[in-house]
């Protein structure tokens, strides 16, 4: 089956974009990356999504994350649509989107990466691109993927939150619990013995008492 699994090296594809032809790994360099696909240009949900992504671009940049979008229309359509997105955001007409958009007119990347939505089709009956999110690490491996149907817009604040978790847990031996946000307490990994945890987390480890008597709910301030 086409697609990329967690831990796979992300394909180093070549593509035409709104900033010219790119080689994906060269575009990423040593940064983290986020690739997010869209069903079609000049559509309402996609416009709101790219508008929000643009507003959060500074937050992604501060985390050393390069952003790139993908849609199945042409570069020319992308450039024209970008003006609508800029207007939607209430910005000056000569403003530019802070990230490129890939032109995948033949759906080659959509097929290779498993991004087609079989339930949403264009006027010719051909499936549109689903709303995919791929987060790629500096090692060019896939760290996270999220797949939404074409009818459901994404929450880019949540995507930013997942990046915070991915970057933290790539460096520290912790996990992030439900609804975690940057600065909140983290979970100590179950495979870390108590004596080692005390050395790893000098700020302290709090263990919640449970009816089972098992000491697996261990919290520590974000390291």
pLDDT at residue 115 above 60? yes
Nearest-Å Rg of the Cα atoms of the chain is 20
Q: What is the pLDDT of residue 151?
A: 85
- Compute the distance between CA of residue 94 and CA of residue 20 in angstroms, rounded to an integer: 19
HEC letters along 67-94: EEEEECCCHHHHHHHHHHHHHHCCCCCC
- Compute the distance between CA of residue 104 and CA of residue 75 in angstroms, rounded to an integer: 9
**pLDDT one-digit tens code per residue, 44-82:** 999 999 999 999 999 999 999 999 999 989 999 999 999
pTM: 0.92
**pLDDT one-digit tens code per residue, 94-108:** 999 999 999 998 888
* Alpha-carbon distance values, 154 to 4, 46, 96, 169 (Å): 20, 9, 22, 23
**pLDDT one-digit tens code per residue, 136-191:** 999 999 999 998 888 899 999 999 999 999 999 999 999 999 999 999 999 999 99
Catalytically active residues, by annotation: 46, 139
């Amino acid at each position: 089956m086409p697609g990329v699994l967690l831990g796979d090296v992300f394909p180093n594809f070549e593509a035409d974009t709104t900033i010219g032809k790119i080689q994906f790994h060269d575009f990423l360099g040593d940064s983290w990356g986020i690739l997010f696909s869209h069903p079609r240009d000049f559509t309402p949900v996609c416009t709101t999504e790219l508008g929000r992504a643009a507003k959060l671009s500074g937050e992604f940049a501060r985390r050393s994350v390069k952003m790139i979008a993908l849609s199945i229309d042409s570069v020319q359509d992308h450039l024209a649509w970008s003006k609508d997105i800029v207007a939607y955001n209430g910005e000056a007409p000569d403003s530019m989107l802070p990230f490129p958009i890939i032109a995948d007119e033949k759906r080659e990347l959509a097929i290779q990466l498993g991004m087609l939505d079989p339930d949403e089709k264009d006027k010719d009956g051909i499936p549109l691109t689903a709303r995919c999110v791929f987060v790629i690490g500096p090692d060019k491996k896939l760290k996270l993927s999220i797949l939404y149907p074409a009818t459901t817009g994404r929450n880019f604040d949540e995507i930013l939150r997942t990046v915070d978790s991915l970057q933290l847990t790539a460096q520290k031996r912790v996990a992030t619990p439900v609804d975690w946000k940057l600065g909140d307490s983290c979970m100590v990994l179950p495979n870390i013995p108590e004596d080692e945890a005390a050395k790893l987390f000098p700020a302290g480890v709090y263990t919640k008492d449970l009816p089972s008597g098992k000491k697996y709910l261990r919290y520590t301030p974000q390291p």
